[in-house]
Amino acid sequence: MAADPTRRVIIAAAAVLPLVAVSGCGGVDVLASPPAPARDVGLLRAAIAAEQLMIMRYAAVLGDVQNPGQGAAGGGTSASLTAALEPLLAEHRAHLAQLRSRLNVPAGSTSPSPSPSRRAGSAPPVPTAPTAAIAFLRAAEQAAATAMLDRMRGAAASLAQLFASISASEATHVPVLDDAVRGIAARAGA
Amino acid sequence: MSKLEEPREASGGHRVSSRAPRAAAPGTIHALQAALAAEHAAVYGYGVVGAYLTGSSRAAATADWVAHQEARDELEAVLRSSGSQPGPAAVAYRLPIPVRTPGEAVSLAVILEDRIATAYLGLVALTTPAVRELGALQVRASALRAAFWRGSTVAFPGLTAAALAIPQRPAPDREASASP
């Protein structure tokens, strides 16, 4: 069965295309142009790896926030930061699930993406001080949104729409993180 | 107020290039007209939104109203440069929800932005780089405005539930029959 996994993945990605036209905007007839499945698979794998990295970063920051070691958050800061970060982490998980669904690897395969970051499974280094950690996530979100837009430029129609939407979602995370920093500052000043 | 200003700053402004294909495909014109229709509706709708708000909320509604006017103007310019006549605004629009309170006005703003984002994703599906770029920048700008009004973010701005449905795998017997 595992004769040619790459080919199976490519075929699955192409077959998914008609299901993802955005409603009512005339996108459907546009999709008639032939996609470039091989390139899309590469872009999808890169997007999946990027989301996995963001998830690990959020998980690492949340771990530090909830188990403060040296110089980390106090109780009130910890609770409010957790409340601010968890919805953003949940959205990255939704991005990852949707991206993986587009790859549509054969059932029974436990690792749809052979990304080294996933295999390692270890937390990436993140700053421990809350303000620095949030600034780190903010920069990471901006970079992720930009990279997703770059992928959009080379993708076939339906995947381009998904990349654009995810990039926009990541851009909206930036003001949320700015608010979180202001919350920390306000609490410190109080 | 800084929170209100950031979406504008982060939106990348409205300096998207108006360069467009000379003879655009019918699908391109259709998607551009659909986005323009959504912008016409948003310009009308934000007039209603602002009327029910006060203070900083009203200022935010006014800023978004202006942003939609600018986006409308840009789409009209792109359509004209493609040799197409931009669709006109309607005299009046039936609001998707009744608006009598500030809370309902904010809900209307969220609905308007969600529709705008979906319309601009129609441009992202096109292959002309400048048109796709314009679509992506406006999806982001709309998502930032929607997040402000909603008070929270969403994972897939502009994508409908149908577009996000996980595709069904082929039935096992069909898959088996296709295998050697």
The answer to whether B153 contacts A153, with C-beta atoms less than 8 Å apart, is no
Per-residue pLDDT of chain B (180 residues; tens, 9 = 90+): 333 333 333 333 444 444 444 567 888 999 999 999 999 999 999 999 999 999 999 999 999 999 999 999 999 999 999 999 999 999 999 999 999 999 999 999 999 999 999 999 999 999 999 999 999 999 999 999 999 999 999 999 999 888 888 765 554 444 433 333
**Tokens linked to B18:** 């108006």
Distance between B30 CA and the closest CA of chain A, angstroms: 6
DSSP letter string, B64-92:
HHHHHHHHHHHHHHHHHHTT-PPPPPPS-
The Cα of A105 is separated from the nearest Cα of chain B by a number of Å equal to 10
Decide if B156 and A94 are in contact by the 8 Å CB cutoff: yes
CA dihedral B162, B120, A153, A173 (to 10 degrees): -80
Classify each residue of A60-73 as buried b or exposed e, where b means 16 or more C-beta atoms within 10 Å of its C-beta: bbbebbeeeeeebb
Q: Which pLDDT score is estimated for A138?
A: 97
* Closest partner CB to B34 (pick from A21, A25, A107): A25
pLDDT, tens digit, for every residue of A118-167?
444 566 788 988 899 999 999 999 999 999 999 999 999 999 999 999 99
Pairwise CA distance, residues B55 & A24, whole Å: 36
